[in-house]
Amino acid sequence: GQGERVASPSNGWFPPLDDSGRETGGGLGDSEDLPLSPAHAELWAENGHVYIRDLGSKHGTYVNDVRITGPSPLKTDDILILGFELPRSASTPRHLTSHDLKPIVAK
């Protein structure tokens, strides 16, 4: 196993939460059911610039609605989207809320 996943200064972790704000089922379960992959994207600063790259995620990383394919420099007011909104289907686990099926969006 990969051990317990937790957020750190260099790694964000967004486990699915139930209605009371607690993690569901002890973790992600099947990441196929979520917009975010367990290791989705990486942000870093280098020479006064901030960059992002996708880490082979299933649903992609987007800068200003364009899916990135390699390291991409970021500018002030860029919109980052990790994954995309997944529709609920008969195979979607019941513990996942509509919120869990949405991408992460940041400016």
Please check the confidence at residue 79 and state whether its pLDDT lies above 70: yes
DSSP reduced 3-state for 79: coil
Contact present, 83 and 36 (Cβ < 8 Å)? yes
pLDDT level of residue 33 (50, 70, 90 thresholds): low
Q: What is the pLDDT of residue 1?
A: 38
Q: What's the pTM value of the predicted model, to 2 decimals? A: 0.66
Number of Cβ atoms within 10 Å of the Cβ of 70: 7
Mean pLDDT, residues 72-96 = 88
Domain assignment of residue 62, yes or no: yes
Range of the domain at 65: 41-106
User: DSSP assignment, residue 6?
Assistant: -
pLDDT level of residue 52 (50, 70, 90 thresholds): very high
Domain assignment of residue 94, yes or no: yes
Closest CA to 93 of 18, 13, 1: 18
Domain assignment of residue 58, yes or no: yes
Domain assignment of residue 29, yes or no: no
Question: Total structural domains in the chain?
Answer: 1
Domain assignment of residue 81, yes or no: yes
Please check the confidence at residue 13 and state whether its pLDDT lies above 60: no
